[in-house]
């Protein structure tokens, strides 16, 4: 695990150097083999699943929906061999939506990628409350589907989105929900959208509030995120050229700030242990954070997470692991806990 931490640190150090170096197309082009020929791949917009969740009887559900409770539209498979099918809709684009006792299927024989012809949807993301027994379906007239089970109704909209639109959405979520002092961390969240009786996570009026936690892999994910933001920054500088518009300048600055913040957060892991010799911690907690409370209330107690939290300047405590004395500092006031994995 220490080797992994060193790799993460090395990656982040490279990231830091890139951020402070002049950006040019040569950064990427220099890595291409001599004589290599390539051209940019233009990604087209694709249908993207965006789900809303409704309680049964919600007045926001369109009253005009044509709910289907039979499987007569299933004309490419003998209905005698599909006894678990409850409802089938063939929409205006000749796409089949098949509701079964074990989930929902979307079948589109015109998909260019064979992997997209049959799409299977199950669990609480797609079906209300995670009840996989689909009772009835209704087309929305725009490529999506309404799905009813015994617990509620979901609307699976299928708007076309570009890769950039998706990336922008996740970037907003990351900064709002997952950012923990620059670290990219797991985070439970709450979502509120005043005035709506249903839940639509894509609603522009909705508000996310994250409660990011820590784990011993924070450095890994944050380093990857930092590198992604560095490539984003480099690409924007290249594509927008020497005279970007004001809006483009803002986008470039945002990419640089995100990359810098994440890189600094990873580099901090080499110093937060208090050793001043580059020994990297996997993550850390401030003493003020609830998650820093150790099992049994002892400063050297084990956490429920896989790993070991330590507090380096507590007198009179028993050290359950030999690494603790070597980390102890008497000339510094601790502000938190670091984590190392015992392997």
- Exposure string over 47-83, b if 16+ CB within 10 A, otherwise e: bebbbbbbeeeeeebeeebeebeebebbeeeeeeeee
Q: Which helix (H) or strand (E) holds 209?
A: strand 207-210
Whole-number pLDDT of residue 273: 64
Distance CA 265, CA 218 (A): 10
Q: Write the DSSP symbol of residue 45.
A: P
Residues in the chain with pLDDT values less than 50: 1-30, 299-315, 317, 319-326, 341-343
Whole-number pLDDT of residue 329: 57
Whole-number pLDDT of residue 43: 83
Distance CA 192, CA 187 (A): 16
Do the beta carbons of residue 84 and residue 100 sit within 8 Å?
Answer: yes
Whole-number pLDDT of residue 146: 99
147 class by beta-carbon count within 10 Å (0-12 exposed, 13-18 middle, 19+ buried): buried
Do the beta carbons of residue 157 and residue 52 sit within 8 Å?
Answer: yes
Of 237, 228, 187, the residue nearest 210 (C-alpha): 187
Whole-number pLDDT of residue 218: 87
Whole-number pLDDT of residue 16: 40
Query: Using one digit for the tens of pLDDT, what is the confidence trace for 71-118?
Result: 999 999 887 888 899 999 999 999 999 999 999 999 999 999 999 999
Q: Write the DSSP symbol of residue 261.
A: H
Whole-number pLDDT of residue 30: 44
Whole-number pLDDT of residue 17: 39
């Amino acid at each position: 695990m220490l080797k992994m931490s060193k790799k993460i640190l090395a990656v982040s150090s490279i990231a830091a150097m890139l951020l402070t170096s002049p950006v040019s197309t040569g950064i990427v082009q220099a890595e291409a083999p001599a004589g290599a020929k390539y051209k940019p791949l233009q990604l087209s917009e694709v249908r993207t699943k965006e789900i809303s969740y409704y309680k049964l009887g919600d007045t926001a559900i369109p009253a005009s929906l044509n709910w289907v409770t039979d499987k007569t539209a299933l004309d490419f498979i003998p209905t005698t061999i599909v006894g678990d099918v409850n409802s089938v809709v063939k929409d205006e684009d000749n796409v089949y939506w098949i509701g079964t006792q074990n989930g929902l299927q979307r079948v589109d024989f015109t998909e260019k990628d064979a992997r997209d012809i049959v799409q299977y949807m199950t669990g609480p993301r797609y079906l209300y409350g995670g009840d996989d027994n689909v009772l009835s379906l209704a087309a929305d007239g725009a490529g999506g589907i309404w799905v009813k089970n015994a617990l509620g109704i979901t609307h699976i909209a299928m708007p076309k989105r570009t890769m950039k639109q998706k990336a922008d959405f996740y970037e907003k979520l990351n900064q709002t929900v997952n950012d923990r002092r620059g670290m990219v961390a797991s985070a439970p969240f709450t979502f509120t959208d005043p005035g709506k009786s249903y839940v639509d996570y894509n609603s522009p009026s909705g508000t996310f509030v994250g409660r990011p936690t820590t784990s011993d892999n924070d450095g890994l994910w944050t380093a990857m995120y930092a590198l992604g933001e560095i490539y984003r920054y480099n690409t924007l500088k290249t594509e927008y050229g020497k005279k970007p518009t004001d809006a483009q300048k803002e986008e470039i600055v945002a990419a640089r700030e995100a990359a810098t913040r994440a890189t600094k957060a990873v580099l901090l892991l080499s110093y937060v242990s208090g050793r001043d010799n580059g020994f990297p911690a996997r993550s850390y907690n401030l003493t003020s954070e609830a998650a820093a409370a150790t099992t049994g209330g002892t400063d050297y107690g084990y956490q429920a997470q896989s790993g070991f939290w330590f507090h380096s300047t507590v007198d009179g405590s028993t050290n359950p692991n030999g690494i603790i004395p070597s980390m102890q500092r008497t000339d510094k006031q601790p502000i938190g806990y670091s984590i190392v994995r015992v392997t």
